[in-house]
Amino acid sequence: MRKAILFISIALIFSCSEKGVLDEKNRIDAVENQEATNDDLIDNTNESVSQTNLSFLALGDSYTIGESVLEGERWPNQMVDIAFNQNVLFNQPDIIAKTGWRTEQLIDTLNRINFTQKFDYVSLMIGVNNQYSLKPIDTFRLDLIKLLDMSIGYSIKRDNVVLISIPDWGVTPFADGYDRIRIEEEINEFNSVIKDIANTNNILYVDVTEISRRALTEKDLIANDSLHPSGKMYREWAEKIYNLWIE
């Protein structure tokens, strides 16, 4: 049985001119919490839960930490609730994610954490800030391979690791006036890398990008910040991830 979760990532936008050049001032203004710290990185809420419950580590960025939604509306938390309703008992998820993180920032943080246990399930959802920051896709590939190796190492069973696609932030109200076609193309390129690495390593890949693109017309799928998913969209992600990964 396999399924998934990730991250957040993003409190960012990227502005493209006719030549595809990012407006640096707008980019900086759009990013929140870009620099990572080690404070409050792990959301450990399972101390009072039985050790016999399944453990779940969610790695990523703003899409995993649930920027602009309540804790209970994050997709990892909602997936745990869905599992509970199916009589599958999880501890609350351990989340290592921060808005604005790119792959190298997640790697740097994980290198400074010594886990005292392995996890029953591990999800990885990262890369939107690499795309947004115009980082080379080849560098992203190398970083993602490293992060996947780390994720497998954190897991009790490699079959219980999942890679999740990057949502398309270009359809959000916040992206009005930007080159949505370019954003869509680049998101597709990054997701192709994620899917290829998942398939090469026989790891489950879950696509939530198509759900995210419905936000172009379904406004209730976007949070009040006009950029990140709402609890409703996260619920749809959680249901799909659960059905493909855990059930």
Pick the CATH number of 24-245 from 3.90.550.10, 3.40.50.1110, 3.40.50.2000, 3.30.300.20: 3.40.50.1110
CA angle at 201 for the pair 132 and 9, rounded to the nearest 5° = 25
Structure tokens given for 92 = 């609350």
Query: pLDDT at position 187, please?
Result: 98
Query: pLDDT at position 78, please?
Result: 98
Q: Which residues are CB-neighbours of 157 under 8 A, at least 6 positions away? A: 120
Query: pLDDT at position 142, please?
Result: 98
Query: pLDDT at position 42, please?
Result: 54
**Consecutive 10-residue averages of pLDDT for the chain (247 residues):** 38 37 38 44 46 93 98 98 98 98 98 96 98 97 98 98 98 95 98 98 98 97 98 98 95
Query: pLDDT at position 137, please?
Result: 98
Helix (H/G/I), strand (E/B), else coil: 236 = helix
Do the Cβ atoms of 6 and 76 come closer than 8 Å? yes
- How far, CA to CA in Å, does 142 sit from each of 1, 94, 103, 149, 184? 28, 25, 10, 11, 22
Between CA 100 and CA 205 the distance in angstroms is 22
Nearest by Cα to 128 from 217, 190, 219, 40: 190
Q: Which residue has the tokens 């990227």?
A: 14
pLDDT in tens, 21-78: 334 334 434 434 444 444 455 554 344 334 589 999 999 999 999 999 999 999 999 9
- DSSP 8-class letter at 158: G
Q: What is the DSSP string of 149-202?
A: HHHHHHBSSGGGEEEEPPP-GGGSGGGTTS-HHHHHHHHHHHHHHHHHHHHHTT
Do the Cβ atoms of 155 and 121 come closer than 8 Å? yes
pTM of this structure:
0.81
- DSSP 8-class letter at 207: -
Nearest by Cα to 166 from 128, 213, 210: 128
Q: Which residue has the tokens 């619920």?
A: 235
